Chains A and B, each alone.
Chain A
Amino acid sequence: MPLSGRTQECVRRLKEGDRGAFDELVQMYKGRAFASAYGMVGNAEDAKDIVQEAFIRVYTGIAGFRGESGFFTWFYRILINLCRDHLRKKVRTQKIFLDPVEDPQEEASSTPEVSDDSQNPGRAVLEKESRMLLEQAVRRLPQNQRAAFVMRYFDGLKTAEIAAAIGCRPATVKVHLFRACQAVAQRLAPYLRK
């Protein structure tokens, strides 16, 4: 069964109260959701909590899902809104505790290990450095630009899907993407010239 058909089937069963269908949906979307949330908030623990909360809201609010948009779009909208709330709270906390500078070492330590590069340590260091620079550049983008950039380049969503998730017009998404790419290129300029 194709993914969209399986999703529809799971949503139907979940509406009938089938917890197994919920587990299937979690298995289908948790990877992509985590990648997007991590791209948005830049911290694995926070991203994990956000994705879990998004799934809980899916379970508790599935009765309100009328199927006008796809399940994926609806779910992404919940996820992106939770990420925004989290970032807003974080900014508020940073303002209160006068801690505007993020510590790159702390950020790096919060990154979950992905692959084993022990075969080529030199390359692994370069890879890690470029990933860190890219993540830092993305993290400094304004919220909507960051969301559009993450969904397009880390998650491969189409413009219309991003527009539905962010809640704006496709033309606005294109503007966000253009500005985000410009800003990222500007911040990575020394690295890109190498």
Chain B
Amino acid sequence: MWGCFWIRPRLLDHLEGAGNERDRRRIAAHLSRCAACRRTFEEFRQVAALTLQHPALQPGDEFWKKFDHELDAKLNERLAHRAAGRPAVFPWPLILGRKPAWVLTSLTLIVVVVGLRLLSGPFYFQPRKAEVEVLARDMILLDELDRDNGVLSGSDEDLQADMEMLLLSDPRALEGIS
């Protein structure tokens, strides 16, 4: 026996009289047994009947006269536009091509700015000299405070941090020390 899943996709074809005789008999037999498929089929039949009641809209002569007139005008305008050789989209590449001096100047400016920035040094974070001096002074004060309290740390991490701070404040501080 054929199930609803096989019948339902064929209901529209059945409604329109499509399909072979054997399938049509099977679908008809299924519809006589299955209330759900019968209801769907009936709904489709009613929708199809309603669309037949309301055939495609066809406006009157006045509408078509206006339509033909407008179409003619629009087509002429489009053809004239094409004949004039004006492209439909804004031609950026052509505009730039006509002004090579502007393009060349802009490109040169960009190259110079980027080059100067590259020559001025690496891009990673570098604190200003005044900021480094303040940090170093704070560090010394903190160390003195720790020493006074007898809690000055001698751990490797703290010493390394001190060394890094020293190098930041003066990159040449350790030069000459082997």
- A interface vs B, CB < 8 Å? 26, 30-32, 34-36, 38-39, 44, 48, 51-53, 55-56, 59-60, 111-114, 127, 130-131, 134, 153-155, 174-175, 177-178, 181-182, 184-185, 188-189, 192
For window 1-43 of B, CB contacts with A under 8 Å fall at: 8-9, 11-13, 40, 43
Neighbouring A residues of B53 by C-beta, 8 Å? 127, 130
Dominant SS among interface residues on chain B: helix
In the complex, what distance in Å separates the CA atom of A189 from the CA atom of B60? 32
Q: Across the interface, do A52 and B74 meet the contact criterion of CB distance under 8 Å?
A: yes
Neighbouring A residues of B58 by C-beta, 8 Å? 31, 34-35, 114
In the complex, what distance in Å separates the CA atom of A131 from the CA atom of B50? 8
Q: Do A38 and B11 contact each other (CB < 8 Å), given the known contacts A26-B71, A59-B75, A192-B46?
A: no
- Binary A-proximity of B46-61 (CB < 8 A = 1, otherwise 0): 1110110111111110
Partner of A154, one of B11, B56, B67, B82: B56
In the complex, what distance in Å separates the CA atom of A175 from the CA atom of B11? 11
Neighbouring B residues of A181 by C-beta, 8 Å? 12, 43-44, 47-48
Q: Residue on A with the closest CB to B73?
A: A52
Q: Across the interface, do A35 and B74 meet the contact criterion of CB distance under 8 Å?
A: no
Q: Do A153 and B57 contact each other (CB < 8 Å), given the known contacts A181-B12, A181-B43, A185-B46?
A: no
Q: Across the interface, do A26 and B56 meet the contact criterion of CB distance under 8 Å?
A: no
